[in-house]
Amino acid sequence: MSGGKVRALFFDVGGTLIHPYPSVGAVYASIASRHGIATSADELEQAFRQSWAALKRPGLTVSSKDWWRQVVFRTLGQKNEACFEDLFNAFARPEAWQAFPDTEDTLREARTRGLHVGVISNWDERLRPLLDVMGLANYFDSITISCEVGVEKPSAEIFLAALQSANVYTDEAIHVGDSYDEDVRGAEAVGMRAMLLNRQGGNATALCDLRDIWAKLE
């Protein structure tokens, strides 16, 4: 990978470092059943993906609790406020998430190499405490979140805020994430380098394991 000396390595969170456990649909189904809503995990997984696609628009979205309320109501097919609150709180707890097997190895290696290790994430106020209780927060020198910056990836402002927090130039930083539009295009638009993560494989230019970062840097 061409460019100046790398001094900072930033990561997306959802789909890059951690993932819903055992799945979004399973968490929805478990909690929905407590509210008398009998729907399978597979059906709710599909409904959630459809709701996400239908409601994801430019501007603050995943950074807003009100936006998540719309997603939940659409996914459930009904406006059940009590169920929404339970779901919103459930995804703030570590039981609903799991770190990928390569996450901690990669973060430890980054710190061993003396890099500034940071997060750049489209998330709401639940992220900081979640990373803390999952035992991941101590790996990071900076955490830049859309709900705090006021814009979401791929907007330039969130990447520039992260760079400022690390006190590095754009060509000294790499951002790693699983979205080409949000992570790769967003980072490259401000002059950062970027690595796309595709855990399913099938993309020769993308990482399929975070630990492959180091081979890319050599």
pLDDT at 123: 98
pLDDT at 202: 82
pLDDT at 208: 96
How far from 56 is each of 25, 122, 163, 167, 196, CA to CA, in Å? 18, 12, 26, 32, 21
In the three-class reduction of DSSP (H, G, I as helix; E, B as strand; rest coil), residue 201 is classed as coil
Name the DSSP letter for residue 15: T
Does residue 1 register a pLDDT over 60? no
The pLDDT tens digits for 69-107 are 999 999 999 999 999 999 999 999 999 999 999 999 999
Domains of the chain: 8-17+100-217 (3.40.50.1000), 21-96 (1.10.150.720)
Q: How confident is the model at residue 204 (pLDDT cuts 50, 70, 90)?
A: confident
pLDDT at 3: 57
Q: Whole-number mean pLDDT of the chain?
A: 96
